Amino acid sequence: MGRSFCIVRLAFIFIAVSLIAALTGCSSSSPTTTTNFPTPANISLSPANPVSLDAGSASQTFTASPRNSKNTAITTPVTFLSSNTAVLTIATNGLACAGTWDSLTAPQICTPGPVGVAQVTARSHGISSPPTTVYVHQHIDKIVISPVPEQTPPAGPCFSKGQSFNYQASALSRGLDITGTVGPFTWQSVNVDVTTLEIATDSAPVAGLQTGQVKVTAHTPGITSLVASNSNVNSQPLDFTTCAVQSIALAVTGSTTNSINVTSGTGKTVTATVLDTLDNTITGVPLTWSSSNPLSVSANAGSIATPQAGGATVVASCTPPTCNIGLKPLLPIYPESAVDVVVAPSSSTTTTTTTPTVYVSSTGFSSSPPGNCATTAGCVSLLVPIGSPNNTVGTAVGLPATPNSLVFDRQGAKAYMGTDFSFFGSRGLMQITVASPPTVTEFKSVTGKVLTVSPDGKKVILSGADPNAVPVPGSNTPPPATQVIVFDTTTNTSTTLNIAGATAADFSPDNLKAFIAASSNLYVWSAQDALKKIPLTAPAKDVSFSPEGAFAFVSGGSSTSSVTAWSTCGLSSALTNNVVLPVVPSFLKALPRDAVNLADPPTAGSATTITSILVVDSPGIDLFRVARAPTGCTSTASSGTATSFNLGQGSFVPIQLIVSQDAARAYVIASDRGSVLVFNIDNQTSSAIPLSGDAIPIQASLTPDGSRLYIAAADGQVHILDTQNGGDLLQISFPTDPTTFQAGLCNGVPFTCNPDLIAVKP
């Protein structure tokens, strides 16, 4: 028995040793390893700002970002900790419970606990993040904004720029005030430029305010809404108004008048004095500076430059949406008077003798033999440049459509040519980029005649037929205008307006509004507002804005007055008395400066501005003055009796009125005269410049310096008139089409298209 026991014992020992050896061999081939994670230098916790949660909410997740000493993100385990687990618990994945989780590793149910405050941190390797404060509270039903007590209320319905007022927010739950448990509120101003906000916090206190209250300071004139938020609940908006601009006065430094004469290259400074509706002077207002001729006179924040001869009016306006923000209806405010700048060439330049680039084209109508390029297969309309230095005819460019108009933007960069028919979307508006040769870009389905281009060149207004209108073959009558299109040159998109019969349009100098005359209606378009329709008691023929922009003058529109005026801001009738002429004038122009020596000057009480209006009234020209005090939105004006000046050429049929940029002379183009009628505004005398061969002018364009008048005439030539000394200096003909042996501005047809569209590049 003893021997058997020894054998069994030895066997057991052998087996044990074998097992140990086997285990040792396994361990040596597959050793157990331990991962060593890096130690962070710092940990950031998101969100870092205070958090507000409803009791029982599980909607907030915290994330941690460990970084090493080089501030590079690293991967290392992070533990989330709550300083008050009765109020808030954090699962291992960072999901917070405003109460208690059923499991920290696999959280499913969040059981609400008491209201209170907890600090959340993220920790790793003994390094802890800055804490985030969490406020746990009952559900917020409503947030109310109110003024902080013991403040002096504002003197009026608004705050002048720079004035401040303090507000607080209250949180309600089932009618009970729980503000003390919800933590700080988030504040925002809808129109951020109208106010500046200073929110009192523990880390950034504001003098005199408790944490969560806000100091609101009036900034840019306009209206905004203040909103306080907490736990995804927003208060009802509270309106806050920075007092609107009421008036603007411009003054040229070193001058006693706003009508100045300078030489090219001369700079000037203009100061704008701005009053708000509380009659307080305010500074730093974002005014819109505009020049009627930016190539000759540029204006930027009160600094005027005069790079070339010519002239312009300069205005500074409070134009929405950058000034008087958010006010409805729109509240643009224009200066009491514009700055009128006449720029003469300096002694070192030859501005009066240089030849600009001129573009010539044709509407494609021929009477003998009859023809219409627009409706004739194979006909190609041409655009021909006439350039410096010798008035040479440049290379003709074939156009994709037959044009009906040719208008340059004021920057001289692009010209626009409309067309009557789209031929079901195959033809449209042509944009001409000034180059040598010029390039043409077509915008199909944008049809109509170009009425005007906005001062900044960003909008083009056209009046034309429906794009699906079908032309009558061979007809020389354009289709009736049934719509107006506003084309945006920055986005190459268009807006169609239901306006029939539009014949004239003009933009306010700040580009805000366009007034469109269409039979017995006046329409007001703005990109910032809905289209407005003003019914008139008589047809309107022409429209022209006063130089500072506060009024639009309309030829006709009234059964008792030949000229009416409308407030740009209030869209109300502005003239307090009637302007009676023998007939409603075909054309009118508000002059950039006041004309003098009229027999019957207007009287308008405290008026500070006089505007001269020139109208064409065969057999002469009429001139009258309008006095006004342009303060606020609904100011009115009074006119003097119109003074008539007979042009000494008998009755005529006017088709165009051109006023030089320095407002020294006016030129009338008549369809039944072989000359151009001239009215000298300065000395109020008249004359005429005959065209060689007694040719009938069709359309004209004046050079920027006013020294030359280019005439597209019925004899198929372009005539160049000397406006200073009189006389037809040169007549320009166009090459003959070698395939049809026809001269003119059409190719591929057996009839001649004479020049009747002409524009001088500004």
Looking at the chain, how many residues does it have?
A: 762
What confidence tier does 582 reach under pLDDT thresholds 50, 70, 90? confident
Model confidence pLDDT, tens digit, residues 194-208: 999 999 988 889 999
Q: Decide if 568 contacts 513 (C-beta within 8 A).
A: yes
pLDDT of res. 593: 79
Model confidence pLDDT, tens digit, residues 530-548: 999 999 999 999 999 999 9
Instruction: Give mean pLDDT, residues 56-76.
Output: 95
Instruction: In whole angstroms, give the CA distance from residue 369 to residue 360.
Output: 22
Fold (topology level) of 509-650: Methylamine Dehydrogenase; Chain H (2.130.10)
Instruction: In whole angstroms, give the CA distance from residue 420 to residue 374.
Output: 8
Instruction: Give mean pLDDT, residues 39-62.
Output: 95
Query: What tokens does 693 get?
Result: 């061969």
What confidence tier does 7 reach under pLDDT thresholds 50, 70, 90? very low
Residues 6+ apart with CB under 8 A from 22: none
CA-nearest of 136, 129, 135, 133 to 79 is 129
Q: Decide if 727 contacts 689 (C-beta within 8 A).
A: yes
Instruction: In whole angstroms, give the CA distance from residue 392 to residue 762.
Output: 18
pLDDT of res. 400: 95
pLDDT of res. 351: 41
pLDDT of res. 372: 87
Which of 30-44, 172-186, 228-242, 690-704 has the weakest average pLDDT? 30-44
Residue 93 has pLDDT above 90, yes or no: yes
CATH class of the domain defined by 142-242: mainly beta
Instruction: In whole angstroms, give the CA distance from residue 500 to residue 516.
Output: 11
What confidence tier does 127 reach under pLDDT thresholds 50, 70, 90? very high
Instruction: Give mean pLDDT, residues 499-526.
Output: 97
Query: What tokens does 669 get?
Result: 């183009």
DSSP state letter for 579: B
Pair type for strands 132-137 and 51-54: parallel
pTM of the model: 0.86
375: helix, strand or coil: helix
Query: What tokens does 227 get?
Result: 């909103």
Residues 6+ apart with CB under 8 A from 223: 191, 194, 239, 240, 241, 242, 325, 326, 327
DSSP state letter for 694: G
Q: What is the CATH code of the structural domain delimited by 42-137? A: 2.60.40.60
What confidence tier does 34 reach under pLDDT thresholds 50, 70, 90? low
Pair type for strands 238-242 and 222-230: antiparallel
Residue given tokens 């057999």 in the structure block? 619
For the chain, give me the number of helices (H) and strands (E)? Answer: 2, 65
Residue 4 has pLDDT above 70, yes or no: no
* Start-end of CATH 2.60.40.60 domains in the chain: 42-137
| Total Cβ atoms within 10 A of residue 550 | 33
* Start-end of CATH 2.130.10.10 domains in the chain: 509-650
What angle (nearest 5°) sits at the alpha carbon of residue 23, between those of residues 18 and 27? Answer: 150
User: For residues 561, 566, 572 and 577, what is the CA-based torsion angle, rounded to 10 degrees?
Assistant: -40
Which range of 101-115, 145-159, 425-439 scores highest in mean pLDDT? It is 101-115
319 residue type, one letter: T
| Total Cβ atoms within 10 A of residue 197 | 15
Three-class secondary structure assignment of 165-191 = EEEEEEEEECCEECHHHHCCCEEEECC
Asked if the bond preceding 321 is cis, omega within 30° of 0, the reply is yes
Instruction: In whole angstroms, give the CA distance from residue 697 to residue 717.
Output: 10
pLDDT of res. 29: 42
pLDDT, the chain, mean: 89
Fold (topology level) of 249-344: Immunoglobulin-like (2.60.40)
Instruction: In whole angstroms, give the CA distance from residue 606 to residue 627.
Output: 9
Q: Where are the beta strands (DSSP E) in 521-619?
A: 521-526, 529-535, 540-545, 551-556, 563-567, 588-590, 609-617
CA 646, chain centre distance (Å): 43
- C-alpha atoms less than 13 angstroms from C-alpha of 272 in its C-beta half-sphere: 33
Q: Decide if 450 contacts 471 (C-beta within 8 A).
A: no
pLDDT of res. 23: 37
695 residue type, one letter: A
Model confidence pLDDT, tens digit, residues 250-273: 999 999 888 899 999 999 999 999
Instruction: Give mean pLDDT, residues 167-174.
Output: 96
Residue 214 has pLDDT above 50, yes or no: yes
Query: What tokens does 620 get?
Result: 């002469």
Q: Decide if 631 contacts 565 (C-beta within 8 A).
A: no
Residues 6+ apart with CB under 8 A from 143: 169, 170, 171, 172, 185, 228, 229, 230, 233, 234, 235, 236
Instruction: Give mean pLDDT, residues 220-249.
Output: 96
577 residue type, one letter: N
* Start-end of CATH 2.60.40.1080 domains in the chain: 142-242
pLDDT of res. 355: 59
Instruction: Give mean pLDDT, residues 386-413.
Output: 91
Helix H or strand E encompassing 19: helix 2-29
Model confidence pLDDT, tens digit, residues 614-636: 999 999 999 988 887 666 787 78
pLDDT of res. 600: 65
